[in-house]
Amino acid sequence: MKEQLDLFPQEELQQQEAGSIEIPEEKIITDTEWCFQFFNNEPIVFAWSNEDEEPAPLVLQLQPTEGEGLNFQQNGMTFRVFPREISEETKQQRAEQNASQNKEA
């Protein structure tokens, strides 16, 4: 926090005026389930932690191979994550982004 105030001294003034600002600590969920949700529909549980074990992070890894993918379905809707050959449009966007980053460096 001190480092942030050194970078942004105006925030220190705001904090002095507003009083002490507390940043809540992250609360680890000890018995965890992971969900997906479409819009405001009911969340769908697709994974959970084992009882009496510390929950590990959920990592979704898809390989860049044909046929690879991950589908979530609810009420006839499907949310799909998948790799495919890069399109010409994406190649152009990538080139523009790389060129922009190279100018900044």
* Average pLDDT, integer, range 3-24: 61
CA separation, residue 73 to residues 22, 66, 78 (Å):
40, 21, 4
* Average pLDDT, integer, range 12-27: 71
Which amino acid would we find at residue 97? Q
pTM for this predicted structure: 0.57
Structure tokens given for 54: 């510390």
Q: What would the pLDDT profile of 37-91 be if each residue is shown by its tens digit?
A: 988 889 999 999 998 888 899 999 999 999 999 999 988 999 999 999 999 999 9
Residues 37 and 33: their CA atoms lie apart, in Å, by: 13
pLDDT of residue 9: 54
Residues 56 and 29: their CA atoms lie apart, in Å, by: 10
pLDDT of residue 17: 59
